[in-house]
Structure 1
Amino acid sequence: MAEGVDTPTAILASAAAALRENPFDDISYRALGDAVGVSERTVYRHFPTRSHLLEGVAGWIESTEFPLPPFVTIPQFQEASRARFLAFDASPAFAFVCARAASISPTGESEATFFTRALVAMLATNYPSVNERDLRRVAATLRYFASTQFWARMRTGFDLSAPEISDAFDRTVAQALSGLPTLTRTSR
Protein backbone atom coordinates (compact mmCIF):
# COMPACT_ATOMS: atom_id res chain seq x y z
CA MET A 1 0.00 0.00 0.00
CA ALA A 2 1.33 3.46 -0.86
CA GLU A 3 2.68 5.43 2.05
CA GLY A 4 0.30 8.13 3.27
CA VAL A 5 -2.80 6.48 1.77
CA ASP A 6 -5.34 5.12 4.22
CA THR A 7 -6.65 1.58 3.84
CA PRO A 8 -10.22 2.43 2.75
CA THR A 9 -8.93 4.81 0.07
CA ALA A 10 -6.46 2.20 -1.16
CA ILE A 11 -9.26 -0.37 -1.37
CA LEU A 12 -11.46 2.02 -3.35
CA ALA A 13 -8.61 2.94 -5.71
CA SER A 14 -7.90 -0.75 -6.24
CA ALA A 15 -11.58 -1.46 -6.93
CA ALA A 16 -11.71 1.39 -9.44
CA ALA A 17 -8.60 0.05 -11.16
CA ALA A 18 -10.16 -3.42 -11.28
CA LEU A 19 -13.25 -1.91 -12.97
CA ARG A 20 -11.10 -1.14 -16.00
CA GLU A 21 -10.89 -4.91 -16.65
CA ASN A 22 -13.86 -6.48 -14.84
CA PRO A 23 -17.50 -5.73 -14.11
CA PHE A 24 -18.19 -4.68 -10.53
CA ASP A 25 -19.88 -7.97 -9.67
CA ASP A 26 -16.70 -9.88 -10.63
CA ILE A 27 -14.44 -7.97 -8.22
CA SER A 28 -13.84 -10.07 -5.11
CA TYR A 29 -13.00 -8.87 -1.64
CA ARG A 30 -10.08 -11.30 -1.63
CA ALA A 31 -8.64 -9.80 -4.82
CA LEU A 32 -9.02 -6.28 -3.39
CA GLY A 33 -7.26 -7.33 -0.19
CA ASP A 34 -4.43 -8.94 -2.15
CA ALA A 35 -4.03 -5.87 -4.36
CA VAL A 36 -3.84 -3.55 -1.36
CA GLY A 37 -1.80 -5.85 0.87
CA VAL A 38 -4.44 -6.42 3.54
CA SER A 39 -6.60 -9.38 4.48
CA GLU A 40 -10.00 -10.05 3.00
CA ARG A 41 -11.36 -9.55 6.52
CA THR A 42 -9.94 -5.99 6.55
CA VAL A 43 -11.76 -5.21 3.31
CA TYR A 44 -14.99 -6.50 4.89
CA ARG A 45 -14.35 -4.41 8.00
CA HIS A 46 -14.30 -1.24 5.90
CA PHE A 47 -17.03 -2.30 3.42
CA PRO A 48 -19.32 -4.83 5.14
CA THR A 49 -21.59 -5.36 2.11
CA ARG A 50 -21.31 -5.08 -1.66
CA SER A 51 -23.64 -2.07 -1.42
CA HIS A 52 -21.15 -0.33 0.88
CA LEU A 53 -18.34 -1.11 -1.54
CA LEU A 54 -20.34 0.04 -4.56
CA GLU A 55 -21.31 3.28 -2.86
CA GLY A 56 -17.71 3.88 -1.78
CA VAL A 57 -16.26 3.15 -5.22
CA ALA A 58 -18.83 5.40 -6.86
CA GLY A 59 -17.99 8.24 -4.50
CA TRP A 60 -14.28 7.74 -5.16
CA ILE A 61 -14.85 7.69 -8.93
CA GLU A 62 -17.06 10.78 -8.78
CA SER A 63 -14.41 12.73 -6.88
CA THR A 64 -11.41 11.57 -8.92
CA GLU A 65 -12.75 10.99 -12.44
CA PHE A 66 -15.78 13.30 -12.60
CA PRO A 67 -15.17 16.20 -10.22
CA LEU A 68 -17.71 18.95 -10.62
CA PRO A 69 -15.96 22.30 -11.08
CA PRO A 70 -16.99 25.01 -8.64
CA PHE A 71 -19.99 27.09 -9.62
CA VAL A 72 -21.76 30.14 -8.25
CA THR A 73 -24.06 31.08 -11.08
CA ILE A 74 -26.58 29.03 -13.00
CA PRO A 75 -24.63 29.34 -16.30
CA GLN A 76 -21.49 28.09 -14.48
CA PHE A 77 -23.50 25.15 -13.10
CA GLN A 78 -24.80 24.34 -16.57
CA GLU A 79 -21.31 24.51 -18.09
CA ALA A 80 -19.88 22.30 -15.33
CA SER A 81 -22.67 19.75 -15.88
CA ARG A 82 -22.14 19.73 -19.65
CA ALA A 83 -18.42 19.08 -19.08
CA ARG A 84 -19.31 16.15 -16.82
CA PHE A 85 -21.62 14.65 -19.47
CA LEU A 86 -18.65 14.68 -21.86
CA ALA A 87 -16.50 13.04 -19.17
CA PHE A 88 -19.20 10.38 -18.64
CA ASP A 89 -19.16 9.66 -22.39
CA ALA A 90 -15.35 9.33 -22.25
CA SER A 91 -15.49 6.80 -19.36
CA PRO A 92 -18.88 5.11 -19.63
CA ALA A 93 -17.98 2.08 -17.48
CA PHE A 94 -17.14 4.36 -14.56
CA ALA A 95 -20.24 6.49 -15.18
CA PHE A 96 -22.50 3.42 -15.21
CA VAL A 97 -21.01 2.25 -11.88
CA CYS A 98 -21.81 5.67 -10.40
CA ALA A 99 -25.34 5.53 -11.80
CA ARG A 100 -25.84 2.04 -10.39
CA ALA A 101 -24.63 3.16 -6.96
CA ALA A 102 -26.98 6.13 -7.00
CA SER A 103 -29.93 3.79 -7.56
CA ILE A 104 -29.35 1.70 -4.41
CA SER A 105 -30.48 2.60 -0.93
CA PRO A 106 -27.84 4.77 0.68
CA THR A 107 -25.60 3.03 3.19
CA GLY A 108 -23.74 6.14 4.31
CA GLU A 109 -24.71 9.34 6.01
CA SER A 110 -28.04 10.94 5.18
CA GLU A 111 -26.70 14.50 5.45
CA ALA A 112 -27.02 16.64 2.35
CA THR A 113 -23.94 16.42 0.15
CA PHE A 114 -21.71 19.35 -0.71
CA PHE A 115 -23.21 19.35 -4.21
CA THR A 116 -26.75 19.64 -2.84
CA ARG A 117 -25.75 22.43 -0.44
CA ALA A 118 -23.98 24.28 -3.30
CA LEU A 119 -27.11 24.05 -5.46
CA VAL A 120 -29.34 25.38 -2.68
CA ALA A 121 -26.89 28.23 -1.98
CA MET A 122 -26.70 29.12 -5.69
CA LEU A 123 -30.49 29.17 -5.95
CA ALA A 124 -30.89 31.16 -2.72
CA THR A 125 -28.49 33.78 -4.07
CA ASN A 126 -30.26 34.04 -7.42
CA TYR A 127 -33.79 33.71 -6.05
CA PRO A 128 -33.73 35.25 -2.53
CA SER A 129 -37.51 35.52 -2.20
CA VAL A 130 -38.13 31.78 -2.69
CA ASN A 131 -38.85 29.73 0.43
CA GLU A 132 -36.50 26.98 1.62
CA ARG A 133 -38.82 24.12 0.65
CA ASP A 134 -39.11 25.32 -2.95
CA LEU A 135 -35.36 25.94 -3.14
CA ARG A 136 -34.76 22.34 -2.07
CA ARG A 137 -37.29 21.05 -4.61
CA VAL A 138 -35.63 22.89 -7.48
CA ALA A 139 -32.17 21.87 -6.21
CA ALA A 140 -33.29 18.23 -6.19
CA THR A 141 -34.51 18.58 -9.77
CA LEU A 142 -31.25 20.17 -10.91
CA ARG A 143 -29.21 17.59 -9.03
CA TYR A 144 -31.00 14.68 -10.68
CA PHE A 145 -30.72 16.10 -14.18
CA ALA A 146 -26.96 16.72 -13.67
CA SER A 147 -26.41 13.16 -12.40
CA THR A 148 -24.92 9.99 -13.79
CA GLN A 149 -28.36 8.40 -13.41
CA PHE A 150 -29.87 10.89 -15.85
CA TRP A 151 -26.92 10.48 -18.23
CA ALA A 152 -27.21 6.66 -18.06
CA ARG A 153 -30.95 6.73 -18.73
CA MET A 154 -30.49 9.00 -21.73
CA ARG A 155 -27.60 6.88 -23.08
CA THR A 156 -29.30 3.51 -22.68
CA GLY A 157 -32.93 4.49 -23.17
CA PHE A 158 -32.56 6.95 -26.02
CA ASP A 159 -28.99 6.40 -27.29
CA LEU A 160 -28.19 10.10 -26.83
CA SER A 161 -24.65 11.48 -26.86
CA ALA A 162 -23.29 13.93 -24.30
CA PRO A 163 -24.13 16.99 -26.47
CA GLU A 164 -27.69 15.72 -26.94
CA ILE A 165 -28.01 15.00 -23.21
CA SER A 166 -26.69 18.50 -22.53
CA ASP A 167 -29.43 19.98 -24.72
CA ALA A 168 -32.09 18.06 -22.77
CA PHE A 169 -30.43 19.13 -19.51
CA ASP A 170 -30.40 22.82 -20.52
CA ARG A 171 -34.10 22.69 -21.43
CA THR A 172 -34.88 21.04 -18.10
CA VAL A 173 -32.93 23.67 -16.16
CA ALA A 174 -34.81 26.42 -17.98
CA GLN A 175 -38.14 24.73 -17.22
CA ALA A 176 -37.26 24.14 -13.54
CA LEU A 177 -36.25 27.79 -13.09
CA SER A 178 -39.10 29.29 -15.11
CA GLY A 179 -41.53 29.26 -12.21
CA LEU A 180 -39.18 31.04 -9.81
CA PRO A 181 -39.37 34.82 -9.44
CA THR A 182 -36.38 36.50 -11.06
CA LEU A 183 -33.91 38.50 -9.04
CA THR A 184 -34.17 42.23 -9.50
CA ARG A 185 -31.46 44.42 -8.10
CA THR A 186 -31.76 48.09 -7.56
CA SER A 187 -28.86 50.40 -8.35
CA ARG A 188 -27.22 52.09 -5.41
Structure 2
Amino acid sequence: MKTLSEKRQDMTRGLILDAAFELLREGAVSELTVRAVAQHAVISERTVFRYFPSREALLDAVAAWLLERMAIPAVPESREGLLGAPRLLYQAFEDRADTTRAALHPELIGRIRALQANGRWEAVSRLLAAIAPKAGAAEQRIAAANICYHLTASSWNYYRSAFGFELEECIACAEAAVRQALDGIGGVKRK
Protein backbone atom coordinates (compact mmCIF):
# COMPACT_ATOMS: atom_id res chain seq x y z
CA MET A 1 0.00 0.00 0.00
CA LYS A 2 1.29 3.44 -0.89
CA THR A 3 1.99 6.05 1.71
CA LEU A 4 0.34 9.45 1.63
CA SER A 5 3.61 10.95 0.40
CA GLU A 6 3.83 8.41 -2.46
CA LYS A 7 0.21 9.08 -3.42
CA ARG A 8 0.90 12.83 -3.43
CA GLN A 9 3.96 12.29 -5.63
CA ASP A 10 1.92 10.18 -8.06
CA MET A 11 -0.78 12.86 -8.16
CA THR A 12 1.73 15.65 -8.82
CA ARG A 13 3.45 13.64 -11.55
CA GLY A 14 0.03 12.95 -13.11
CA LEU A 15 -0.89 16.63 -12.87
CA ILE A 16 2.28 17.57 -14.75
CA LEU A 17 1.68 15.00 -17.50
CA ASP A 18 -1.99 16.00 -17.78
CA ALA A 19 -0.94 19.63 -18.20
CA ALA A 20 1.54 18.71 -20.94
CA PHE A 21 -1.18 16.73 -22.73
CA GLU A 22 -3.62 19.64 -22.48
CA LEU A 23 -1.05 21.96 -24.03
CA LEU A 24 -0.61 19.49 -26.90
CA ARG A 25 -4.38 19.15 -27.36
CA GLU A 26 -4.82 22.91 -27.42
CA GLY A 27 -2.31 23.08 -30.24
CA ALA A 28 0.32 24.83 -28.15
CA VAL A 29 3.00 22.61 -29.63
CA SER A 30 5.73 25.25 -29.42
CA GLU A 31 4.68 25.89 -25.84
CA LEU A 32 5.65 22.46 -24.57
CA THR A 33 8.23 23.91 -22.22
CA VAL A 34 8.76 23.29 -18.53
CA ARG A 35 7.58 26.83 -17.83
CA ALA A 36 4.38 26.43 -19.88
CA VAL A 37 3.61 23.05 -18.33
CA ALA A 38 4.17 24.43 -14.82
CA GLN A 39 1.93 27.42 -15.51
CA HIS A 40 -0.78 25.22 -17.00
CA ALA A 41 -0.61 22.86 -14.01
CA VAL A 42 -0.55 25.86 -11.63
CA ILE A 43 2.62 24.68 -9.93
CA SER A 44 6.16 26.01 -9.83
CA GLU A 45 8.83 25.18 -12.39
CA ARG A 46 10.90 23.88 -9.51
CA THR A 47 8.21 21.29 -8.81
CA VAL A 48 8.28 20.13 -12.43
CA PHE A 49 12.07 19.85 -12.26
CA ARG A 50 11.77 17.80 -9.07
CA TYR A 51 9.95 15.15 -11.09
CA PHE A 52 11.66 15.66 -14.44
CA PRO A 53 15.23 16.98 -14.18
CA SER A 54 15.25 18.33 -17.75
CA ARG A 55 12.92 19.16 -20.61
CA GLU A 56 14.20 16.03 -22.33
CA ALA A 57 13.17 13.91 -19.34
CA LEU A 58 9.75 15.58 -19.38
CA LEU A 59 9.32 14.86 -23.11
CA ASP A 60 10.38 11.23 -22.59
CA ALA A 61 7.78 10.88 -19.84
CA VAL A 62 5.08 12.54 -21.93
CA ALA A 63 5.84 10.17 -24.82
CA ALA A 64 5.61 7.11 -22.56
CA TRP A 65 2.43 8.48 -20.95
CA LEU A 66 0.79 9.05 -24.36
CA LEU A 67 1.82 5.63 -25.63
CA GLU A 68 0.29 3.99 -22.58
CA ARG A 69 -2.98 5.87 -23.09
CA MET A 70 -3.13 5.01 -26.78
CA ALA A 71 -3.57 1.35 -25.76
CA ILE A 72 -2.11 0.06 -29.00
CA PRO A 73 -3.00 -3.59 -29.65
CA ALA A 74 -0.23 -6.17 -29.54
CA VAL A 75 1.65 -7.10 -32.68
CA PRO A 76 -0.11 -9.93 -34.52
CA GLU A 77 1.49 -13.35 -34.55
CA SER A 78 0.05 -14.69 -37.79
CA ARG A 79 -0.64 -13.71 -41.39
CA GLU A 80 -4.34 -13.43 -40.57
CA GLY A 81 -3.49 -11.26 -37.59
CA LEU A 82 -1.48 -8.92 -39.80
CA LEU A 83 -4.38 -8.66 -42.21
CA GLY A 84 -6.66 -7.69 -39.31
CA ALA A 85 -4.17 -5.34 -37.66
CA PRO A 86 -5.21 -2.18 -39.52
CA ARG A 87 -8.75 -2.44 -38.19
CA LEU A 88 -7.61 -2.96 -34.59
CA LEU A 89 -4.96 -0.24 -34.71
CA TYR A 90 -6.95 2.36 -36.60
CA GLN A 91 -9.94 1.83 -34.32
CA ALA A 92 -7.65 2.37 -31.31
CA PHE A 93 -6.25 5.53 -32.93
CA GLU A 94 -9.76 6.75 -33.67
CA ASP A 95 -11.04 5.99 -30.18
CA ARG A 96 -8.20 8.07 -28.73
CA ALA A 97 -7.82 10.61 -31.53
CA ASP A 98 -6.67 13.50 -29.30
CA THR A 99 -4.06 11.32 -27.65
CA THR A 100 -2.94 9.87 -30.98
CA ARG A 101 -2.58 13.29 -32.59
CA ALA A 102 -0.66 14.58 -29.56
CA ALA A 103 1.72 11.64 -29.96
CA LEU A 104 2.44 12.81 -33.52
CA HIS A 105 4.04 16.00 -32.19
CA PRO A 106 7.45 16.33 -33.90
CA GLU A 107 9.32 16.31 -30.59
CA LEU A 108 7.46 13.22 -29.37
CA ILE A 109 7.05 10.94 -32.37
CA GLY A 110 10.69 9.85 -32.42
CA ARG A 111 10.55 9.07 -28.72
CA ILE A 112 7.38 7.04 -29.17
CA ARG A 113 8.90 5.25 -32.14
CA ALA A 114 11.88 4.30 -29.96
CA LEU A 115 9.54 3.01 -27.24
CA GLN A 116 7.15 1.04 -29.41
CA ALA A 117 7.56 1.06 -33.16
CA ASN A 118 10.98 -0.58 -33.22
CA GLY A 119 9.53 -3.59 -31.38
CA ARG A 120 6.68 -3.70 -33.90
CA TRP A 121 9.24 -3.66 -36.75
CA GLU A 122 11.16 -6.57 -35.24
CA ALA A 123 7.99 -8.60 -34.63
CA VAL A 124 6.67 -8.04 -38.16
CA SER A 125 10.10 -8.92 -39.59
CA ARG A 126 10.18 -12.20 -37.62
CA LEU A 127 6.65 -13.02 -38.74
CA LEU A 128 7.49 -12.39 -42.39
CA ALA A 129 10.57 -14.59 -42.10
CA ALA A 130 8.28 -17.37 -40.85
CA ILE A 131 5.58 -16.73 -43.47
CA ALA A 132 7.97 -16.53 -46.42
CA PRO A 133 11.23 -18.22 -45.45
CA LYS A 134 12.35 -18.51 -49.09
CA ALA A 135 12.03 -14.78 -49.72
CA GLY A 136 15.27 -12.89 -49.75
CA ALA A 137 16.30 -10.66 -46.88
CA ALA A 138 15.80 -7.51 -48.96
CA GLU A 139 12.32 -8.64 -50.04
CA GLN A 140 11.37 -9.39 -46.42
CA ARG A 141 12.72 -6.01 -45.32
CA ILE A 142 10.73 -4.14 -47.97
CA ALA A 143 7.53 -6.00 -47.11
CA ALA A 144 8.08 -5.36 -43.38
CA ALA A 145 8.67 -1.67 -44.05
CA ASN A 146 5.52 -1.36 -46.14
CA ILE A 147 3.42 -3.19 -43.57
CA CYS A 148 4.82 -1.26 -40.62
CA TYR A 149 4.32 2.03 -42.45
CA HIS A 150 0.61 1.35 -42.81
CA LEU A 151 0.29 0.24 -39.18
CA THR A 152 1.19 3.67 -37.81
CA ALA A 153 -0.71 6.57 -36.35
CA SER A 154 0.95 8.76 -38.98
CA SER A 155 -0.71 6.79 -41.80
CA TRP A 156 -4.08 6.83 -40.03
CA ASN A 157 -3.79 10.59 -39.50
CA TYR A 158 -2.73 11.16 -43.12
CA TYR A 159 -5.75 9.29 -44.46
CA ARG A 160 -8.02 11.17 -42.08
CA SER A 161 -6.61 14.68 -42.57
CA ALA A 162 -5.13 14.78 -46.08
CA PHE A 163 -7.93 12.85 -47.79
CA GLY A 164 -10.76 13.46 -45.34
CA PHE A 165 -11.45 9.73 -45.26
CA GLU A 166 -13.82 8.20 -42.77
CA LEU A 167 -12.47 5.49 -40.49
CA GLU A 168 -13.66 2.61 -42.71
CA GLU A 169 -11.95 4.12 -45.74
CA CYS A 170 -8.72 4.50 -43.76
CA ILE A 171 -8.93 0.88 -42.67
CA ALA A 172 -9.60 -0.26 -46.25
CA CYS A 173 -6.50 1.60 -47.50
CA ALA A 174 -4.25 0.08 -44.86
CA GLU A 175 -5.73 -3.40 -45.29
CA ALA A 176 -5.12 -3.23 -49.05
CA ALA A 177 -1.50 -2.17 -48.53
CA VAL A 178 -0.83 -4.91 -45.97
CA ARG A 179 -2.50 -7.54 -48.18
CA GLN A 180 -0.45 -6.44 -51.20
CA ALA A 181 2.79 -6.61 -49.20
CA LEU A 182 1.91 -10.09 -47.91
CA ASP A 183 0.77 -11.34 -51.31
CA GLY A 184 3.91 -10.04 -52.96
CA ILE A 185 6.50 -11.50 -50.60
CA GLY A 186 8.12 -14.54 -52.09
CA GLY A 187 5.98 -14.17 -55.18
CA VAL A 188 3.27 -16.25 -53.52
CA LYS A 189 -0.29 -14.98 -53.52
CA ARG A 190 -2.53 -16.28 -50.78
CA LYS A 191 -6.20 -15.86 -50.09
Q: TM-score, normalised by structure 2?
A: 0.70
Structure-2 change in CA distance of 1:4 and 1:104 (3 Å) = closer
Indicate if the aligned counterparts of 2:75 and 2:124 stay in contact, CA closer than 8 A.
no
Instruction: Tell me the residue number matched to 1:172.
Output: 177
For residue 163 of structure 1, the aligned residue among 162, 165, 168 is 168
What are the Cα deviations for residues 131-175 of structure 1, in whole angstroms up to 9, with x where unaligned? 333322221211111111111111111111221111011111122
Indicate if the aligned counterparts of 1:127 and 1:183 stay in contact, CA closer than 8 A.
no
Shift of 1:24: 3.8
Instruction: Tell me the residue number matched to 1:39.
Output: 47
Indicate if the aligned counterparts of 1:100 and 1:149 stay in contact, CA closer than 8 A.
no
User: Is 1:48 aligned to residue 30 of structure 2?
Assistant: no
Instruction: Tell me the residue number matched to 2:157.
Output: 152
Is the helix fraction higher in 1 or 2?
A: 2
Q: TM-score, normalised by structure 1?
A: 0.71
Indicate if the aligned counterparts of 1:126 and 1:183 stay in contact, CA closer than 8 A.
no
Structure-2 change in CA distance of 1:115 and 1:109 (3 Å) = closer
Instruction: Tell me the residue number matched to 2:96.
Output: 91
Indicate if the aligned counterparts of 1:58 and 1:98 stay in contact, CA closer than 8 A.
yes
For residue 80 of structure 1, the aligned residue among 81, 85, 100 is 85
Count of paired positions: 181
Shift of 1:19: 4.5
Structure 2 counterpart SS, 1:71: coil
What are the Cα deviations for residues 69-128 of structure 1, in whole angstroms up to 9, with x where unaligned? 342012213323312212222332222222334896669969972111111111111111
Unmatched runs of 5 consecutive residues or more in structure 2: 1-5
What are the Cα deviations for residues 8-66 of structure 1, in whole angstroms up to 9, with x where unaligned? 887545533655566444454235457488634446634339xx72x653443223323
User: Is 1:65 aligned to residue 73 of structure 2?
Assistant: no
Unmatched runs of 5 consecutive residues or more in structure 1: none
Taking only aligned residues, the RMSD between alpha carbons, in angstroms, comes to 3.9
